[in-house]
């Protein structure tokens, strides 16, 4: 399961190495619609293109909602990770 998630994220990261294009704004809009379901106080404006692409892949994957939430929080980082929650970072 983790290997699949890592593979999908790697593909998404590789796909976002190009400079900004019209597809980026469409991807950001698609993620923006549902991001609030998985993390609080985070907008797509706070995220890098690679993070947005990884989150999109996770949102549309075959994981359970709980797994999606965990993977997206891990991708966002900061206070949304276990380390951030435990150590208030």
Block mean pLDDT (10 aa), the chain, length 89: 63 56 83 92 90 94 92 82 65
Number of domains making up the chain? 1
Give the H or E element holding residue 62: none
Q: Which residues contact 5 (CB under 8 A, 6 or more apart)?
A: 58, 61, 63, 71
Task: List the domain range (segments joined by +) for residue 81.
Answer: 2-15+23-87
pTM: 0.67
């Amino acid at each position: 399961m983790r290997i699949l998630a890592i593979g999908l994220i790697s593909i998404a990261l590789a796909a976002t190495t190009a400079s900004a294009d019209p597809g980026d704004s469409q991807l950001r809009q698609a993620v923006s619609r549902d991001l609030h379901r998985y993390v609080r106080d985070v907008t797509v404006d706070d995220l890098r293109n690679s993070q947005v692409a990884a989150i999109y892949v996770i949102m549309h994957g075959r994981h359970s909602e709980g797994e999606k939430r965990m993977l997206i929080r891990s991708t966002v980082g900061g206070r949304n990770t276990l380390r951030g929650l435990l150590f208030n970072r």
